[in-house]
Structure 1
């Protein structure tokens, strides 16, 4: 009898301890460190941070979002995430290698619009672009891209001679200095970039052309951070279901989509052989539909 009471007391104590542990975990604050923007004027992190905040708010957990101590290039941010050093979430375009190295959260933050590309060009090149009638004509020109961007491999595999540099600001200078012929940028980025362009040679958005390749921009976490991945995924799925994700996307990018006027552009389809097979292309609610009303 005494032995049974001892066992019961031990079990009760264990259950009580487990309950306290669960309460502590629930009450704990998730500290999430993301890549520091390049400068105070760099707004490229604003939308991903809003999406991440929205997802975390859906879960009800306590959290704190903090930038890394220093700015690093995209490539270095991905390396630090892989090595589990300081940074524990990054947003970036996916490819097969990144999904091998890291744990992707397969919900496209920009609904695939990161693959809809318009062209920054020098004004003195505008006349030449008027004579482009097919993809082969465009492939004779040299696009400018970041050396560690997945876009670069996509363009090279589509027979473009890509001019590269690691520094984003240097890419803009290269275009201005005629070190390349055009700078493809997503229709969500290009409008702010052309407005901030400072150059002796005027840079404009080419008005009638573009190209598209299927791709996705995801949140990535360290390959062992499955609890964090589950937390973010749960929040994003809730926001998609209740319409808050779509509302945030349209609030942020509706005007850019309208200005891009892609229905009246000649959009060349490029092949993306680096797109992982697990990309959720069958979930139509996750992708922008260019032909929707």
Structure 2
């Protein structure tokens, strides 16, 4: 009779062989590493990209780690609830979000941070969602001094609220992802700074994006994996690092967000640059794309 060690080795070799052929039986599939990704259902283009980036990284590691599955779990949860669910590892075990200093014991993020950023810095480019009737008011803004006088909206627990306040902005952050647009329409605040890769998906008939004004603050987007699933985190860390080295991760970003990148590079776009006090001091503060800064920051 084979020992448990030999049985496990034989099973692993079988899985690797099946994975390399692109086929596996029901027994092998049950052993696949399963990533349950949180998708809140409101920003499909960002989530499509993040699932593609997750899948790309796992494909890079198929030979070493075997088969995998990615489950896209649709659920309208608050940001803090998502972190708790991922930490528990039952309903969800991976999500994507802004970089937090988990090494310093950030109380809002106890999961395992994957160090390779995704989205090529695009999360930090914030366009302004406003009520359509207010478009002329915002198109006349030329400086941060003007924008600081107008209350912005953000979600409860979002890092952006602290960044905006650090830069002297007024912020209303009592809402969550499900209520922010309603709060904007009801004039609880006057604009919602939102990532350029998300904003178009959030518009309604009464809302619009200010076409030529962008806020930028460095805000790397990363994956977080359940603290209960260190092997899943290890695999994703290895795979994303490989995808960054060979250029396939940046190529994926460029394919998914070609329109947004082209818009940001337009000479008509004015950029107001803010500081992010939460990042390490050696993290680049300047926008990665060569934008035209406003002359009056």
TM-score under structure 1 normalisation? 0.80
Which residue matches 2:53? 51
Residue 9 of structure 2 aligns to a residue whose secondary structure is helix
Within-5 A mapping of 1:54-203: 54-60=56-62, 61-68=66-73, 71-96=76-101, 97=106, 101-194=110-203, 197-199=204-206, 203=207
User: Residues 288 and 135 from structure 1, CA distance in 2 versus in 1: closer, same or farther, beyond 3 angstroms?
Assistant: closer
Determine if contact 1:111/1:288 at 8 Å carries over to the other structure: no
Using the TM superposition, name which of 205-214 and 124-133 deviates more: 124-133
Alignment counterpart, residue 21 of structure 1, candidates 1, 8, 11:
8
Distance in 2 (alpha carbons) for counterparts of 1:277 and 1:216: 14
Counterparts in 2 of 1:180 and 1:166: CA distance versus 1, 3 Å = closer
| Separation in structure 1 between the aligned mates of residue 152 and residue 74 of structure 2, nearest angstrom | 33
| Cα distance in 1 between the residues matched to 2:177 and 2:205 | 14
Residues 173-207 of structure 1 show CA distances to partners (whole Å, capped at 9, x for unaligned) of 2222322111111111223333xx133xxx22212
Ranges of 4+ aligned residues in structure 1 off by more than 6 Å: none
Q: CA deviation at 1:134?
A: 2.1
Partner in structure 1 of residue 262 of structure 2: 258
CA distance in 2, matches of 1:69, 1:46: 12
**CA shift for structure 1 position 276:** 4.8
Q: 1:68 to 1:94 in 2, by over 3 A?
A: same
CA deviation digits over 1:142-172, x for unaligned, max 9? 1111112111121122222212244334211
Contact 1:143/1:162 (<8 A) preserved: yes
Q: TM-score, normalised by structure 2?
A: 0.79
Is this contact kept in 1: 2:78–2:177, CA < 8 A? no
Consecutive unaligned residues of structure 2, counting only runs of 5 or more, are 16-30, 292-297
Structure 2 residue aligned with 1:233, among 223, 231, 237? 237
Cα distance in 2, alignment partners of residues 141 and 90 from structure 1: 32
> Unaligned regions of 5+ residues in structure 1, if any?
1-12
Q: Residue 63 of structure 1: CA displacement?
A: 0.9
- Aligned in 2, Cα 1:161/1:65: closer, same or farther, shift over 3 Å? same
> How many angstroms apart in 2 are the aligned matches of 1:137 and 1:88?
42
| Correspondence for 1:289 | 288
Give the greater-gyration-radius structure (CA). Answer: 1
Between the two proteins, the alignment pairs up a number of residues equal to 268
